[in-house]
């Protein structure tokens, strides 16, 4: 019998703001957070749109002087982590902090700090490099500063598996709890890539949409008119906790983490296996880890980036894995509204998935006007939000390098 793990808190930073309810209300309403880039002058670039965090205020969640110094990804990580702890109603004066850990990861780290430091080196010389340059670009520092502020002395590290980063963090954090290393883990992902170097890099990969004249219509998962993903940013963080620990302190239980799995396509640096077999086998491993049957899953929050290759590979995987049961599943693409938040994507999508469990409503897939023929037989939540009593939800995320991940959540049952 595996130790049961529950979700007791959520925190986020997104293009729809920093409140979980407002974030999910915007998704249910089918709003788009994609707009013209204002973080830097993108006027000469072929892609000038993004799911950008705007008007973010760290408030009292980080010292003001430190907040001005650190990279945005660190600000987002600390804010989302502390909001998750706040929602979990954790008493920091009484909890055993040696049994509390942090696994808040990022795919790319401090890109703004790295870019500005590189410019300084070239234009002004090494003596003008900030002494904070290294601490503010390394990927573990979001969780490191969060731990310093909270006093958490349990497992603390960051991992990077590109766009699957958050799911890998959830799975590893849950395993720490199941293995007895910790009672509580603050975990998820963060990314702040909207700057010249990251956007230009993805343009060079020919990965981004160039639908600049129609930002709200640019992210089009499964649609025949899709032309690449829209880059996004933010943070999505959960408070995972052993059920015994949560019950003992009277914590709010939002849902149950049932299990998850990871594997690798070992196929190509950016493209998944065309037949989706790596993804299908990852979902198979996830249900074995959770100890459930595939027929219990009735909602899939898809990776669905709006790339030519990736979208249909996931469709093939879902059809292969679920077989005839695929017709009973609702599947949607959160990225159609917030863009692809890279290392934070699975974190924000986990919050959308858990919100669906809580509200009994799944959000629509935006901009799905002319679906690919291969999607026939799967309800992709086209057009508007739908009512659904979620039995078990799967959230898929995949990353460059062939990294596959699936996590499973379900309503909490006290029996």
Three-state SS at 377: coil
The pLDDT of residue 415 is 59
| Radius of gyration of the chain measured on its C-alpha atoms | 20
180 domain-assigned:
yes
Measured distance CA(234)–CA(215) in Å, rounded: 18
276 and 360 share a domain?
A: yes
352 domain-assigned:
yes
Question: Could you report the average pLDDT of every consecutive run of 10 residues in the chain (415 residues)?
Answer: 93 98 98 98 97 95 93 98 98 97 97 96 96 95 97 98 97 98 98 97 96 98 97 98 98 98 94 92 98 98 94 96 97 98 98 98 98 97 96 97 96 84
Question: Where in the sequence is the domain holding 385, given as residue range(s)?
Answer: 260-410
225 domain-assigned:
yes
Classify burial at 56, counting beta carbons within 10 Å of its beta carbon; exposed 0-12, middle 13-18, buried 19 or more: middle
β-bridge pairing 361-362 and 403-410? unpaired
Catalytic: 340? yes
Helix (H) or strand (E) run with residue 312 in it: helix 308-322
Structurally, the chain folds into a number of domains equal to 2
Q: Choose, from 136, 176, 245, 303, the residue flagged as catalytic.
A: 303
Catalytic: 403? no
243 and 331 share a domain?
A: no
β-bridge pairing 392-399 and 386-387? unpaired
Q: Choose, from 15, 100, 136, 163, the residue flagged as catalytic.
A: 163
Catalytic: 268? no
Cross-strand bridge partners of residue 14: 17
Give the length of the chain: 415
300 and 221 share a domain?
A: no
β-bridge pairing 49-50 and 100-106? unpaired
219 and 277 share a domain?
A: no
Please work out, in degrees rounded to the nearest 5, the angle formed at the alpha carbon of residue 346 by the alpha carbons of 214 and 39.
Answer: 45
272 and 396 share a domain?
A: yes
244 domain-assigned:
yes
For residue 215, CA distances in Å to 14, 26, 220, 353 come to: 17, 16, 11, 25
Q: Choose, from 176, 245, 340, 363, the residue flagged as catalytic.
A: 340
The pLDDT of residue 71 is 97
């Amino acid at each position: 019998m595996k130790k049961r793990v529950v979700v007791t808190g959520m925190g986020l930073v997104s293009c729809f703001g920093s409140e979980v309810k407002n974030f999910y209300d915007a998704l249910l309403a089918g709003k788009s957070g994609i707009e013209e880039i204002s973080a830097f002058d993108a006027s000469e670039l072929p892609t000038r749109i993004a799911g950008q965090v705007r008007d973010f205020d760290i408030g009292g969640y980080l010292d003001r002087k430190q907040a001005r110094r650190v990279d945005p990804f660190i600000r987002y990580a600390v804010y989302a982590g502390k909001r998750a702890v706040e929602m979990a109603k954790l008493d920091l004066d009484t909890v055993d902090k040696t049994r509390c850990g942090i696994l808040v990861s990022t795919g790319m780290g401090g890109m703004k700090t790295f870019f500005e430091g590189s410019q300084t080196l070239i234009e002004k010389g090494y003596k003008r490099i900030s002494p904070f340059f290294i601490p503010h670009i390394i990927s573990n520092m979001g969780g490191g500063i969060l731990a310093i502020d909270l006093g958490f002395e349990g497992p603390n590290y960051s991992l990077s598996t590109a766009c699957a980063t958050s799911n890998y963090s959830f799975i590893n954090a849950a395993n720490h709890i199941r293995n007895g290393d910790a009672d509580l883990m603050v975990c998820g992902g963060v990314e702040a890539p909207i700057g010249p170097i990251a956007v230009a890099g993805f343009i060079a990969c020919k990965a981004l949409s160039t639908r600049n004249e129609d930002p709200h219509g640019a992210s089009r998962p499964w649609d025949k008119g899709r032309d690449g993903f829209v880059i996004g940013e933010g943070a999505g963080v959960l408070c995972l906790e052993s059920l015994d620990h949560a019950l003992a302190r009277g914590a709010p239980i939002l849902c149950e983490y049932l299990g998850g799995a990871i594997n690798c396509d070992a196929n190509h640096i950016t493209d998944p296996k065309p037949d989706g077999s790596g993804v299908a086998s990852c979902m198979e491993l996830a249900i074995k880890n959770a100890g459930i049957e595939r027929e219990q899953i009735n909602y899939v929050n898809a990776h669905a980036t709006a790339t030519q290759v990736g979208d249909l590979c996931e469709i093939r995987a879902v059809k292969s894995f679920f077989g005839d049961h695929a017709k009973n599943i609702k599947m949607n693409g959160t990225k159609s509204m917030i863009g692809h938040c890279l290392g934070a994507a699975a974190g924000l999508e986990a919050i959308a998935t858990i919100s669906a469990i809580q509200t009994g409503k799944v959000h629509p897939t935006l901009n799905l006007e002319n679906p690919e023929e291969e999607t026939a037989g799967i309800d992709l939540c086209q057009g508007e939000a739908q009512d659904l009593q979620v039995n078990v939800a799967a959230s898929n995320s995949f990353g460059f390098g062939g990294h596959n991940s699936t996590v499973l959540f379900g309503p909490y049952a006290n029996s």
